[in-house]
């Protein structure tokens, strides 16, 4: 094992699950446990449960584990870095034995090299920008009104009009073409020649909240296409969960409370479309500005934003695409409990141009006047109809009622019922009873949707963690029960001699879990948390759910284990036998339902 067991125990003892998680999730007591809204999936009814001094588990998405798993997922760290993170917070030293080799050394190394390479690339682009060859790029940025200070602050750069400028630099620094390709910095032509991905563009580094350069956006300086080129997903960058300038915006959101280390979210964020909007806003003093990377906001980004902001001002273009993006923002931010205000710049095409024309003060006024999402949508609905014509008025009321019925809070619904009544002259009671009927229907529709997603799961199976489960659903189930039992009682490993081998497993993932447990057992024993460093947080979620499922059962004796081992062997034999012994559709549906509960 990479770390002495005693150290991990001490670390976990000093990193109270309750306190650590409490910094990210608002927890309230429920019996002897704590519950809150899950930070890993969008929900409003808390299903995320903390079992103090043990582990956490989300009954909604199946995320689960101990304090280390939690930090791994929350801060997007690998095992050694999560350990370091917690040790720093608890003020204890991480033992560095001689010959210390983390288990996932290769993966960590490649991540670190990726960060290192991106950092070198960012510095290279920046020094290009300041060199005579970057004059055109620098002039472009200055013409767009950026100050030298803000150019430095954002680490902006310039990719020369060359096919091998960065390639040469990175080669000198000892990086391989494969590494450059993986990081989306170079491509390889059909003739096998490496080439720089970014050429003749001003460069915007994308930096994560830990300060690592993870990707780049590059913009042309004329009208050539594509206007923007963004890194595609790499091992260290996921477009759908990162935001441009979040590294800077997050600090502005951690206000007075932030200084004490308490992450009470007090902030406001501004979501824009483009890099230039964000930079212009920061330059004008709005340091909560971020941008999605060329897309509408995603559920992942919404969750990230919800960690820092209470209110999100959405400032997309006023075109059709912008309107659709507004709708998405309203939907996803609603799901994570962040208030959305729709900010429409008038008299300019985007926030960048608006600030240049009218100044920061006017933008601040725009923010103050920004309508809440419901007001915004109510006025959109109203604008569509001629209220003088009874039929149209009725359609408007219908549409507005549907909107209000979708509001989660009863109190807020009440406010808008009154407002709609004022707008239309229809009595409050009439509107209220219509909305009541609709809310009942909404719940019904939601239930239908859940059932439908069950069907879809049935069709696609789509078990990302254990894709093999499809080979033998019953076999996979049996394996999970076996593993759950062994996690519950590691000492059962001793009685397995001859009864169960790696080869008996049908699915790769479960086999991997078993062989890891076997190895740890032979090295002096294990408990569920010692698996942490061998599996991803998502996989740990699955492992914890096996453990919990088994623990919930009353009979877990050794007899059950040997029965399960026999069943597994039979299932394995069936696989080589002719088909026709598959599960019935009901059994399959029940299995999928149990899976979809535990799935990420």
> For Zn ion, which stretch binds (CB under 5 A), given 33-41, 215-223, 305-313, 566-574?
33-41
For position 74 contacting Zn ion by CB under 5 A, the verdict is no
Q: How far is the CB of 57 from Zn ion (least distance, A)?
A: 9
> Which residues are 270's β-sheet partners?
289, 313
Contact 285, 351 (CB under 8 A): no
Q: What is the dihedral of CA 382, 387, 391, 392, to 10 degrees?
A: -30
Distance separating alpha carbons of residues 479 and 574, to the nearest angstrom: 15
The smaller minimum CB distance to Zn ion, of residues 40 and 514, is found at 40
Other beta carbons within 10 Å of 436: 13
The smaller minimum CB distance to Zn ion, of residues 33 and 421, is found at 33
The smaller minimum CB distance to Zn ion, of residues 43 and 78, is found at 43
The smaller minimum CB distance to Zn ion, of residues 61 and 564, is found at 61
For position 58 contacting Zn ion by CB under 5 A, the verdict is yes
**Helix, coil or strand: residue 228:** strand
* Of the residues 11, 15, 34, 40, which one makes contact with Zn ion according to CB under 5 A: 40
> Which residues are 505's β-sheet partners?
none
DSSP output for 479-503: HHHHHHHHHH-GGGGGGGTTT--GG
For position 41 contacting Zn ion by CB under 5 A, the verdict is yes
The smaller minimum CB distance to Zn ion, of residues 61 and 279, is found at 61
For position 38 contacting Zn ion by CB under 5 A, the verdict is yes
The DSSP call for residue 223 is: S
> Which residues are 51's β-sheet partners?
55
* Of the residues 8, 27, 35, 61, which one makes contact with Zn ion according to CB under 5 A: 61
The smaller minimum CB distance to Zn ion, of residues 61 and 400, is found at 61
Q: How far is the CB of 327 from Zn ion (least distance, A)?
A: 24
For position 299 contacting Zn ion by CB under 5 A, the verdict is no
* Of the residues 60, 102, 299, 372, which one makes contact with Zn ion according to CB under 5 A: 60
Contact 86, 76 (CB under 8 A): no
The smaller minimum CB distance to Zn ion, of residues 63 and 396, is found at 63
Distance separating alpha carbons of residues 17 and 51, to the nearest angstrom: 8
Distance separating alpha carbons of residues 510 and 411, to the nearest angstrom: 48
> For Zn ion, which stretch binds (CB under 5 A), given 57-65, 230-238, 303-311, 419-427?
57-65
> For Zn ion, which stretch binds (CB under 5 A), given 58-66, 111-119, 231-239, 507-515?
58-66
* Alpha carbon separation from 351 to 220, 279, 298, 326, 409 (Å, rounded): 20, 10, 21, 15, 32
The smaller minimum CB distance to Zn ion, of residues 219 and 595, is found at 595
Binding letters toward Zn ion, positions 431-460, x by CB under 5 A: ------------------------------
Name, in order, each residue with C-beta under 8 angstroms of 488's C-beta and a sequence gap of 6 or more: 547, 550, 551, 556
Binding letters toward Zn ion, positions 242-281, x by CB under 5 A: ----------------------------------------
Contact footprint for Zn ion (CB under 5 A): 38, 40-41, 58, 60-61, 63
């Amino acid at each position: 094992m990479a770390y002495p067991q005693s150290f991990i125990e001490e670390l976990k003892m000093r990193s109270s699950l309750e306190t650590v998680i409490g910094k990210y999730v608002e927890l309230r007591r429920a019996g002897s446990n704590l519950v809150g809204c899950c930070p890993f999936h969008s929900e409003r009814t808390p299903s995320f449960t903390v079992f103090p001094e043990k582990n956490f588990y989300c009954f909604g998405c199946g995320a689960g584990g101990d304090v280390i798993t939690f930090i791994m997922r929350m801060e997007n760290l690998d095992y050694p870095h999560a350990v370091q993170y917690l040790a720093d917070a608890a003020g204890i030293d991480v033992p560095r034995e001689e010959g210390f080799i983390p288990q996932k050394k290769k993966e960590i190394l490649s991540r670190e090299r990726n960060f290192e390479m991106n950092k070198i690339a960012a510095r290279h682009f920046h020094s290009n920008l300041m060199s005579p060859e970057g004059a055109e790029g620098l002039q472009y940025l200055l013409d767009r009104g950026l100050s030298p200070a803000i150019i430095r602050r954002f680490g902006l750069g310039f990719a020369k009009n060359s096919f091998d400028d960065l390639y040469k630099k990175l080669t000198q620094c000892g990086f391989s073409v494969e590494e450059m390709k993986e990081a989306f910095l170079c491509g390889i032509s059909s003739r096998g020649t490496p080439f720089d991905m970014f050429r003749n563009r001003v460069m915007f580094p994308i930096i994560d909240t830990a300060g690592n350069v993870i990707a780049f956006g590059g913009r042309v300086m004329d009208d050539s296409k594509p206007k923007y080129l963004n890194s595609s997903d790499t091992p260290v960058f996921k477009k759908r969960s990162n935001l441009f300038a979040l590294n800077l915006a997050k600090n502005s959101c951690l206000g007075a409370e932030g200084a004490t280390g308490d992450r009470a979210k007090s902030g406001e964020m501004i979501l824009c479309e483009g890099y230039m909007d964000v930079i212009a806003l920061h330059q004008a003093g709005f340091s909560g500005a971020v941008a999605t990377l060329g897309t509408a906001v995603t559920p992942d980004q919404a969750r990230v934003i919800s960690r820092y902001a209470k209110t999100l001002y959405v400032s997309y273009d006023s075109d059709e695409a912008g309107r659709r993006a507004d709708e998405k923002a309203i939907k996803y931010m609603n799901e994570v409990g962040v208030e959305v205000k729709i900010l429409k710049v008038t008299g300019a095409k985007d926030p960048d141009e608006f600030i240049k024309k009218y100044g920061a003060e006017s933008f601040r006024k725009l923010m103050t006047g920004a309508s809440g999402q419901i007001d915004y949508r109510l006025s959109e609905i109203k604008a569509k109809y001629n209220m003088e014509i009874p039929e149209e008025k009725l359609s408007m009321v219908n549409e507005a009622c549907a909107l209000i019925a979708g509001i989660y809070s009863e109190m807020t619904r009440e406010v808008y019922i009154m407002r709609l009544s004022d707008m239309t002259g229809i009595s409050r009671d009439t509107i209220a009873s219509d909305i009541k009927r609709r809310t009942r229907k909404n719940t019904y529709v939601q239930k239908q949707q859940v059932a439908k997603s069950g069907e879809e799961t049935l069709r696609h199976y789509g078990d990302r963690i254990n894709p093999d489960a499809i080979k033998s659903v019953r076999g996979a189930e049996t394996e999970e029960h076996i593993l759950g039992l062994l996690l519950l009682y590691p000492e059962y490993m001793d009685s397995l001699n001859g009864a169960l081998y790696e080869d008996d497993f049908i699915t790769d993932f479960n086999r991997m879990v078993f062989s890891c447990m076997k190895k740890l057992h032979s090295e002096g024993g294990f408990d569920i948390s010692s698996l942490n460093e061998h599996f991803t947080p998502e996989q740990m979620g699955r492992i914890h759910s096996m453990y919990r499922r088994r623990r919930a059962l009353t009979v877990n004796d050794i007899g059950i284990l040997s029965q399960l081992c026999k069943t597994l062997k039979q299932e394995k034999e069936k696989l080589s036998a002719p088909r026709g012994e598959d599960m019935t559709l009901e059994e399959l549906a029940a299995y999928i339902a149990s899976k979809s509960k535990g799935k990420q």
